[in-house]
């Protein structure tokens, strides 16, 4: 209507002035309800064409949408495994700090695993103590084996010397028996030394490796035990939290509740029409008025324009996608941030809003290479933004009336 009134001042009104003062035709006589179309046909036709062109120009270069929401972030309260609730630490709508416990699952199995891992570490420490004692005993066995070897070697040398002095005194068989005894004692020495090396390797390498594995298992068991206590990852307000001891929580089926963080606000998420995909750019100035904060115009800036239309997404399934199912018109998702700090204060998160975005051609208008027609067109585009800004302010005035009176909410 506002566009029609403006255009009528440039078309119908001049046509009427010409008919009235140039041709002498008066309203109610020559110009009446039945002859109005014939008398003012040029002005009315021009007004309709100009109005349609103006509306198209305004809504294309300065897009508007009612699909705007003051989006905010939430965190789902979920354990990492299925379990039965043993204890609840917070109530409904209670504020929690980051890291504060929210609820605890039954941890009997995790505590048993932790105790088993702790016992395994103690067992390896005991094995190290026993191996140290065996190492001290191995030194005695080596000394004993070396003594027996030396004694057998001395006896063999004595028998060999006697046989050299008098071959008839010592039998050949006795010398061979002494040689076998020496070889056996030498093998016993090697076995004792090897046993000591095995104990040293066990104490220096095997047992430390086993203890490290046991400590890793102990740490893993402690982590699993800590997972039974679900804590707040960030500070915020606990919402829709109705857990009680004895309830079963499954991360795949049932969540425990929702945590609304303190830094929950994302900004305004707007869905503009697909036809504005070539116009919407990051950095555009925008304005919005929200139901939760009436009679207020919030200055904004476009910070992000999603380069895909969510309605056309395809997910891998066991069925072929039918294009007809994706034929519904989607919107161009756009993120609007406040131009000045604190402008969104007072707007309840989740509030519905109406937003306008304005195309600015300031840089191109100051280009020395711009043509006259291009300069005139861009000036007209920037000028008609005023009409859209006026319409938004009318919405801001009428929105409470429409919400409270006309719709009855």
Report how far residue 119's alpha carbon sits from residue 202's, in angstroms, rounded to the nearest whole number.
Answer: 20
Q: How many CA atoms lie within 13 A of 196 on its CB side?
A: 14
Report how far residue 327's alpha carbon sits from residue 140's, in angstroms, rounded to the nearest whole number.
Answer: 90
Map residue 230 onto helix, strand or coil.
strand
Average pLDDT, integer, range 134-146: 74
pLDDT tens track for 254-276 = 777 888 887 766 788 998 888 88
Q: Radius of gyration (Cα) for the chain, nearest Å?
A: 46
When the pLDDT of each residue in the chain is averaged and rounded to a whole number, the result is 80
Q: Is the pLDDT of residue 165 over 60?
A: yes
pLDDT range class, residue 287, cuts 50, 70, 90: very high
Q: Are strands 95-96 and 236-239 parallel, antiparallel or unpaired?
A: antiparallel
Residue 320 lies in a domain: no
pLDDT range class, residue 301, cuts 50, 70, 90: very high
Pick the closest to residue 144 from 180, 196, 182, 189 (CA basis).
189
Task: Please report, for the domain that includes residue 117, its CATH number.
Answer: 1.10.287
Q: Are strands 83-88 and 248-249 parallel, antiparallel or unpaired?
A: antiparallel
Q: Is the pLDDT of residue 159 over 70?
A: no
130 CB-near residues (< 8 Å, 6+ apart)? none
Residue 321 lies in a domain: no
Average pLDDT, integer, range 177-192: 74
Map residue 306 onto helix, strand or coil.
coil
Sign of CA dihedral 317, 322, 327, 328: negative
Q: For position 25, what pLDDT does the model report?
A: 74
Lowest-confidence range among 46-55, 333-342, 356-365, 370-379?
46-55
Residue 318 lies in a domain: no
Report how far residue 153's alpha carbon sits from residue 160's, in angstroms, rounded to the nearest whole number.
Answer: 11
Average pLDDT, integer, range 82-90: 87
Q: Is the pLDDT of residue 178 over 80?
A: no
Q: Is the pLDDT of residue 326 over 80?
A: no
Q: Is the pLDDT of residue 12 over 80?
A: no
Q: Is the pLDDT of residue 162 over 70?
A: no
Same-domain check for residues 57 and 125:
no
Same-domain check for residues 37 and 183:
no
Q: Is the pLDDT of residue 30 over 80?
A: no
Residue 390 lies in a domain: yes
End-to-end CA distance of the chain: give it in Å, rounded: 26
Q: Looking at the 3D structure of the chain, how many domains does it have?
A: 4
Same-domain check for residues 172 and 254:
no
pLDDT tens track for 312-322 = 777 777 777 77
pLDDT tens track for 93-127 = 888 888 889 888 888 888 998 899 899 888 888 88
Residue 172 lies in a domain: yes
pLDDT range class, residue 171, cuts 50, 70, 90: low
Q: For position 32, what pLDDT does the model report?
A: 66
pTM, two decimals, is 0.65
Residues in the chain, total:
409
Q: Do residues 98 and 234 lie in contact, with contact meaning Cβ atoms separated by under 8 Å?
A: yes
Helix H or strand E segment including 346: none
Task: Please report, for the domain that includes residue 343, its CATH number.
Answer: 2.40.30.170
Q: Do residues 112 and 129 lie in contact, with contact meaning Cβ atoms separated by under 8 Å?
A: no
What is the extent of the structural domain holding 118?
107-227
């Amino acid at each position: 209507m506002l566009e029609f009134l403006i255009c009528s001042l440039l078309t119908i009104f001049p046509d009427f002035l010409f008919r009235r003062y140039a041709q002498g035709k008066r309203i109610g006589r020559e110009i009446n309800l039945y002859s109005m179309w014939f008398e003012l046909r040029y002005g009315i036709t021009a007004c309709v064409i100009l109005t349609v062109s103006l509306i198209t120009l305004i809504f294309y270069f300065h897009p508007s949408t009612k699909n705007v929401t003051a989006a905010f972030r939430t965190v789902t309260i979920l354990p990492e495994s299925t379990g039965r609730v043993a204890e609840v630490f917070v109530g409904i709508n209670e504020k929690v700090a980051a890291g504060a416990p929210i609820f605890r699952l039954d941890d009997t199995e995790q505590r048993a695993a932790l105790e088993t891992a702790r016992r395994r570490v103690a067992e390896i420490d005991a094995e190290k103590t026993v191996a140290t004692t065996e190492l001290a005993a191995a030194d005695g066995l080596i000394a004993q084996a070396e003594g027996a070897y030396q004694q057998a070697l001395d006896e063999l040398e004595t028998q060999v010397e006697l046989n050299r002095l008098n071959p008839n005194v010592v039998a050949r068989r006795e010398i061979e028996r002494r040689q076998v005894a020496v070889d056996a004692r030498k093998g016993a020495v090697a076995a004792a030394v090897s046993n000591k090396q095995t104990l040293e390797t066990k104490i220096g390498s095997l047992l430390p490796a086993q203890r490290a594995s046991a400590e890793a298992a102990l740490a893993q068991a402690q982590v699993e035990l800590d997972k039974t206590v679900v804590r707040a990852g960030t500070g915020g307000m606990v919402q829709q939290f109705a857990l009680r001891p004895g309830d079963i929580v499954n991360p795949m089926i049932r969540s425990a509740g929702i945590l609304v963080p303190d830094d929950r606000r994302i900004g305004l998420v707007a869905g503009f029409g697909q036809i504005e995909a070539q116009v919407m750019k990051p950095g555009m100035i925008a304005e919005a008025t929200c139901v939760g904060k009436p009679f207020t115009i919030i200055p904004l800036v476009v910070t992000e324009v999603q380069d895909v239309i969510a309605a056309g997404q395809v997910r891998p399934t066991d069925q072929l996608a039918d294009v007809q199912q994706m034929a519904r018109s989607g919107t161009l998702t756009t993120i609007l941030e406040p131009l000045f700090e604190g402008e969104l204060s007072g707007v309840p998160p989740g509030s519905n809003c109406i937003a306008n975005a304005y195309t600015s051609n300031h840089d191109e208008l100051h280009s020395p290479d711009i043509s006259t027609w291009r300069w005139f067109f861009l000036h007209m585009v920037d000028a008609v933004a005023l009409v859209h800004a006026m319409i938004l302010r009318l919405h801001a005035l009428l929105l409470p009336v429409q919400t409270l009176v006309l719709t009855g909410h």
